[in-house]
Amino acid sequence: MPPRRNPVLITGCSTGIGRASADLLVKAGYTVYATARRPETLAELAVAGAQTLALDVTDERSMVAAVREVERAHGSVGTLINNAGYGEYGPIEETDLDAVRKMFETNVFGLARMTQLVLPGMRAVGSGLIVNIGSMGGRITFPIGGYYHATKYAVEGITDALRNEVRSFGIDVALIEPGAIRTQFEETVNTAAGVANPDSPYADLVAKVRSVNADAYSSKVLSAGPENVAKTVLKVLESDPPRARYLVTAAARTMVNARRLGGDLVWDAIIARQFSR
């Protein structure tokens, strides 16, 4: 295990990918700081050997306090895993923009601010790793998810720029792009997509999206458990240097390649067929 990857600070560990990643990294021998807005949700990770901290990526004081605590104990953060995020779904025309702004605060600005906070310490020691948990939804787009996709496209851009800005300081940057992962995320998506006015002109499309999502997340072919992403996180930490991008799930690779190779006409035809009412 490369010592320079320690300690590992992970955001959004109460459930899903963050929890699975923290658990696997602890088992692999890493010093892990697992964080969540509600630290009481981290009790099992604490028993497993993780250090636990309260951290809300939409609160400046919370972010500063968490990074300072890790730096006080270790000098610098060895690895930052920006995992916290969620999906606010709905038609572009009808979705509440205040809810969209709130999602951007978590998915984009929280990730950006956490990155800003750890970089001075990483530069001072001449090493570090930043792993951003993006999504295949940062490279392909489905209807009713436009604003969520916008946050993940933003993460793609930030990650690409950052990778080339900090390379000369000995800092690596990698992006993990999961496909459909069976966590509480799909429940949030289906709940958000299901609040459309039944008289909305988009009501039929929203219903179709809910149906397609339910089928995808219940399929062991089209989706995977969070442990699959956790294994990729471990692979990134143990790679020197890591790759720029890691797509997770065969379905995600298939769809991203279809979008890339087929262009707009092919992708739009796939979407029209999949979501036809």
What residues act catalytically? Answer: 148
What letter would DSSP give residue 198? T
* SS3 of residue 51 by DSSP: strand
Smallest Cα–Cα separation from 217: which of 12, 16, 11, 19? 16
Q: What angle do the packed helices 16-27 and 226-237 form, to 10 degrees?
A: 50
What letter would DSSP give residue 276? -
The Cα–Cα gap between 52 and 60 comes to 18
Residues 6+ apart with CB under 8 A from 272: none
Q: Which residue has the tokens 């984009």?
A: 108
How buried is 93 (Cβ within 10 angstroms: 0-12 exposed, 13-18 middle, 19+ buried)?
exposed
Beta-strand relationship, 51-54 and 32-36: parallel
Structural contact between residues 145 and 208, judged by C-beta atoms closer than 8 angstroms: no
